[in-house]
Structure 1
Amino acid sequence: MSTTATAPSPSSAPQGGTAAPSAVLPRRSNGPLSAQNLIATITTGYIPLLISTAVVVLPLLWMVISSFKAPSEILTQDLVVLPSDPTLHNYRVAMTTVPIPRFFLNSVIVTAIGSALKVVLAIMTAYALVFLRFPGKNWIFIGILVALMVPPQVAILPNYVLVAGWGGVNTYWGIILPGLGTAFGTFLLRQYFLTIPPSILEAASLDGAGHWRTMWQMVVPIALPSIATVALVTIVGEWNDYIWPLIITTSTDMMTLPVGLTSLQNSEGNTGSGWGILMAGTVLVIVPVLIIFAALQRYIVSGLTQGSVTG
């Protein structure tokens, strides 16, 4: 005896003319994790995350706490985590021992001008590599990729000979000029510009917009997250730069904050009370860039990932 499968009658279909689904997807289990999955999650997820966080955060936290300690609580064989009597004495001494306000002003000028020029040059270079046609464009991009692999310390001696020959020692432009090219920023913006639909540029061209207007009024607003990422990375790099300002400046009036810490260490680092003062000076250096990083950090992930896929 054979059985014959019968198709469902039209009357059995739901109202509105929509046929019922032929198969029902299995429900996702919302029950508790098994012991094996829980152990794997903790071992491969939480424990590495906690270790990485501790490696990064604990030294910074110890530095901030030590800046409020007395010398006897820093140079002791007994572990003193929290200061018994927090004081701002280390900060007052750091501000008066070396000209911290002058160092801060120099860092602000160098970071603001250098970062702005770097970002503008990166935008213009990436735009030219993507939207302009000229011979040797691919070779220029290959040269930018090679520059990403070359340590910046390799160019210190040639840059010093060139800048010093032009009279750039102890000048703002002497500190800023050698670092104006940013291979990372150009590469990141180029990858994002490749994802911009050509129809947008075609529409701008039909409206009579030239390359300059198209770049600043069409491309830049679209690529704002990636540009913010480049700006953030550039600001952090300029603010924390140490080797080149140390080499090109010999006058205290032109030193930046990272270089000024060397003067603070030389004046106070050999005494028992010098460590707390040095920690206070270091906190003054890193706090501004931490504030900027916290304000712009939401752009990092979006800016780095938006240009990762082209097509």
Structure 2
Amino acid sequence: MTPTPESTGLRAQLASLPTEAFRPELAEIDRLSTLEIATLMNGEDAGVPAAVARELPRIAAAVDAVAERMARGGRLVYAGAGTAGRLGVLDASECPPTFNTDPAQVVGLVAGGRDALVTSVEGAEDSAELARRDLDALGLTAGDAVVGVSASGRTPYAVGAVEHARAHGALTVGLACNPGSALAAAAEHGIEVVVGPELITGSTRLKAGTAQKLVLNMISTITMIRLGKTYGNLMVDVRASNDKLRARSRRIVALATGAGDDEIEAALAATGGEVKDAILTILGQVDAPTAARLLAESGGRLREALVAAAR
């Protein structure tokens, strides 16, 4: 097959990216023992947190902007292809059980749709138009925040999502793993976690994927802390949907209040299993309806509700 000018140009573009660089010193990695390869991988991974640390000021600025939008009722939307898209879907799917968010509050879009979570959807990542259609299907508004995620920083789906969102007035964040990326340039908040070449050439599910997971953890978790979804480091908005989470709910109330088992069980029964409400009834010495009202008036922020209960 004769290479087209387009394919030749793309190969040259990829070859220039740090995440795609070939490492000749690893050319005979397949000759090493399993322990030696595992040791190499572990050493490679050890450098990822330092790369994330270099971007902390930009991550923090992005989080504050996302939290401000969500506090006004906006949504957090991740958009990416392949590993990056799957990581966004993973992070979004963990928010309802962890922080009791509505599934529509934090959304993960992956190029090619749900099928792309378990299989490759050919060509989906190359379509900026597909990203625009996916965002339009969500009813994107200027109040939302869209985070485009791409290891290379050039994936058309992620870049297209950010460009479309910004054109509609939404907050935009671009998370990439190469410097000078088109994705970061397209977004209001550019985050470039430069992890360097992968152990396996171009396999950006490795260090780049780890870096993306760490940053997405920060974006969702710190945003939820800012929205009052925690009390200290306790998950007071946890959704008790199974035996493990019901046991965790009791433990969280115990840690927050120091109350005994009987008082905790009574508080959870009175509040329909709502951890935050139960804590407020115990610490604030109010009944369940009053706890619900105070939390509603404080926007769900337990510390503010406790202050109000003490008045």
Q: TM-score range by the shorter chain?
A: under 0.3
Whose helix proportion is higher, 1 or 2?
1
TM-score where L is the length of structure 1: 0.24
Whose strand proportion is higher, 1 or 2?
2
Indicate the structure whose relative CO is greater, using CA pairs within 8 Å and at least 6 residues apart: 1
